[in-house]
Amino acid sequence: MSPSIRKIARPNLFWKIFLWFWLATLIVLATTVFLYSLSEQESRLVPIERAERLELRKTAILIQQKRLIDEYQELKILKPKKIQKLLANAYVLDKYGKDLFERDVPEAIYKLRAFNKRSHKLATVIDNNLGYYGPEIVYNRGKHYQLYISKKTKQHFYTVLSYIYHSTSIWTILAALGISSLVCFGLAWYLTRPIHQLQKATQAFASGDLQARARNFMSNRHDEFIDLAEDFDRMADKIDNMIHSQKRLLSDVSHELRSPLTRMQIASGLALNKATDDNKNYLERIELEIERLDEMIGELLQVAALERGHFYEEKSKFVLNDLLSVLVKDAQFEAAAADKAVKFTAEKEFEFFGYYGLIARAAENIVRNAIRHTKPNTSVDLKLYSNNGDIKIEIQDHGPGVNNQHLDKIFEPFYRPTEARERTSGGTGLGLAIAKRGVEANGGSISAQNGVDCGLSEGLKVILSLPGQP
């Protein structure tokens, strides 16, 4: 299932609110109908049920087969109650609207009679706790009469629903449901829209846009959501100021250290020229540490510049194969001194438009790091290929790898997982951080995974992914 389909199918807040509002609307409507059904109302006409039709027909057949009309007329003085008991709930009307069994005819039956005269249809009239339905034709001695039946009934919920359903067209019901769904949809959209807008702001801020503010995504609202957006913006301002302060401090400290460091180099050089054999080793050690410190400060300045977006070069078009070939030739000298090798294979020739120096520095830092950690008599394998439209630079070593919990952190400045890198292995802890920022400046990404997680027995694999060229 694709992410877009999963997103639609997932019961998110919008659909929950929409369905609950719509369900609440339907419950209120059903409750209203139910309470209406419990109250006493004037008689109302509803369509006749199938069971009532059958009862009418059976009663008409019974009257005709047993000739109850004739018996009543012939024996009404002697045994009228017997026949009245058989037809206790039946009314048989002649053409004048009089009951043949000489009973008072309810007003509801006359209502049914008038309806049948107009529409020639059978129906039911609900009058409080009694239901009347008919008519059914009864033949007797060449004459025909109208049969109506009454029975006790309650104002049941389904009866009112049946009345509403049959007295209203299906299009009216669908229109009512459609309007209610649109109202609930609009209300759910109104309530969830600021949440999605706030989500856009947080996603933009999390992706590195420190200037993203929730207030810019919100419309002119005056409710709790705008208060939440303002709280988010205050938090974002503080984080932005703190990060910029750290970056500025890093850059300022690095610049300020350069001057005393330069004076220390000059002083150590002068002292080394006049040093005796006893203190010469100490001065050489001091000079070595000064060089390492100078290298670290240079890398710090480069990290600070990359984070500020200062690349000190223009984009140009170049061939990645040529860049990596030059890098591999230089790396092979360093690797050979430790009984190691660097191998390079390319799927084809790849042209790229970007910052040449940043990609070169990123690949060089990773290759040198791989040479440092790969085992003796093994090689660092560098591959260049394409995958899903992107250009991939894959660098694989045969070292101890990195604990999985550190994989996402090795590209942070000064991060040293003790399982993978010890102080004695060299490096300042900034090479991978520079590589990451250099690749991102070219619109790409960088990732690392252990060899055992990608089908290999050992080592660490670092993949630089660059956007494919049109």
* DSSP category for residue 168: S
pTM: 0.47
Domain 210-310 has CATH 1.10.287.130: yes
Average pLDDT over residues 282-311: 70
CA distance 284 to 312: 34
Check residue 422 and give its pLDDT. Answer: 46
Kindly report, residue by residue over 338-383, the tens digit of the pLDDT: 889 999 998 888 899 988 888 888 888 889 888 988 888 899 999 9
How is domain 316-466 classified at the architecture level of CATH?
2-Layer Sandwich (3.30)
Domain boundaries, the chain: 40-154, 210-310, 316-466
Check residue 219 and give its pLDDT. Answer: 67
* Structure tokens that stand for 195 in this block: 């949440």
CA distance 395 to 416: 20
Checking if the pLDDT of 3 tops 80, the result is no
* DSSP category for residue 99: B
Checking if the pLDDT of 1 tops 60, the result is no
Residue 129 gets the label, from left (phi > 0), alpha (psi -120 to 50) or beta, of: alpha
Checking if the pLDDT of 200 tops 50, the result is yes
- 96, amino acid identity: Y
* DSSP category for residue 469: P
Check residue 383 and give its pLDDT. Answer: 92
More confident residue, 234 or 414: 234
Contacts of 287 (CB under 8 A, 6+ apart): 265, 268, 269, 272
Average pLDDT over residues 104-115: 86
Kindly report, residue by residue over 148-199, the tens digit of the pLDDT: 888 876 555 455 555 555 555 667 667 777 887 787 777 777 777 777 778 8
Q: Model confidence at 249, in pLDDT bands (50, 70, 90)?
A: low
Kindly report, residue by residue over 26-83, the tens digit of the pLDDT: 777 776 655 555 554 556 677 788 888 888 888 888 888 777 777 776 665 445 566 6
Beta-bridged to residue 447, according to DSSP, are 463
Domain topology for 40-154: Beta-Lactamase (3.30.450)
Sign of CA dihedral 28, 31, 35, 37: positive
Checking if the pLDDT of 330 tops 80, the result is yes
Find which of 77-81, 253-257, 444-448 is predicted with most confidence, using mean pLDDT: 444-448
Cβ count within 10 A of residue 251: 18
Q: Model confidence at 236, in pLDDT bands (50, 70, 90)?
A: confident
Average pLDDT over residues 117-128: 81
What pairing do the DSSP bridges indicate for beta strands 143-152 and 130-140? antiparallel
CA distance 425 to 55: 100
- From the list 417, 416, 396, the residue with the least C-alpha distance to 459 is 396
